[in-house]
Chain A
Amino acid sequence: GAVVSQHPSRVICKSGTSVKIECRSLDFQATTMFWYRQFPKQSLMLMATSNEGSKATYEQGVEKDKFLINHASLTLSTLTVTSAHPEDSSFYICSARDRIVHEQYFGPGTRLTVT
């Protein structure tokens, strides 16, 4: 079956530093990937839609300069949290949409803790 990986699975960083999270589709190609964040005991909120070879589309209220998204290939999208602050601590989940069958598959998530 289709597998999406995320790396790292958990990361702790200091306030003011930047963190990069990778999302990879392992056995299929994805022209579109999605980034979500999930606060404790809450639902997933879509942050942005990442399209291969073009700029990401951000949801209202999401700072594009703070959450940098790069989708340079059909199997990799990265989310960089710049100048992280404690309020950015969250569970970040990506999904990738298979360009042939158009199904979305979710990664296992990355838990970010900013101290």
Chain B
Amino acid sequence: AQSVTQLDSHVSVSEGTPVLLRCNYSSSYSPSLFWYVQHPNKGLQLLLKYTSAATLVKGINGFEAEFKKSETSFHLTKPSAHMSDAAEYFCVVSLYGGSQGNLIFGKGTKLSVKP
């Protein structure tokens, strides 16, 4: 069965410092993995996705994530945090692979950015 675990419920960084949001997955299939961002009282925005192509995936707003099969991880990183990055981030795995399947959401990681 597919599942996803976000290891930190809350991450706090200073503006200009690197961001690391951790995600581990479990999947019986070759997974498709996604990172979504949700700003307060807003809908979800897709940051990036991995669908069995390049293992290092670049997304919007300077974010990227690396798929590591040996570690079953898909951590999200950004070299330099901006105040506007403060939001809730969800790691998501797709059932049956690809975005065709149902999505399983992690519990989310709240990112705070201090000035």
Contact = CB atoms under 8 A, between A and B. Distances in A.
Q: Are A and B bound to each other?
A: yes
B43 A97 contact: no
Nearest to B34: A104
A96 B37 CA distance: 17
B99 A43 contact: no
**Most B CB atoms within 10 A — which of A6, A42, A43, A108?**
A43
A54 B36 CA distance: 29
Contacts of B36: 106
A12 interface: no
B18 to A, nearest CB: 25
A93 B43 CA distance: 7
B100 A43 contact: no
Nearest to A49: B102
Interface in A73-115: 93, 95, 97, 102-104, 106-109, 111
Q: Is the interface of B mostly helix, strand, loop or mixed?
A: loop
A106 to B, nearest CB: 4
Interface in B64-115: 90, 98-100, 102-108
A102 to B, nearest CB: 5
B40 to A, nearest CB: 11
Given A102-B99, A103-B99, A104-B99, A43 B105 contact: yes
Nearest to A108: B43
Top 5 A-B pairs, shortest CB-CB distance:
A108-B43, A106-B44, A102-B100, A43-B105, A44-B105
12 contacts: A6-B43, A34-B102, A34-B103, A43-B105, A43-B106, A44-B105, A97-B99, A102-B100, A103-B99, A106-B36, A106-B44, A109-B43
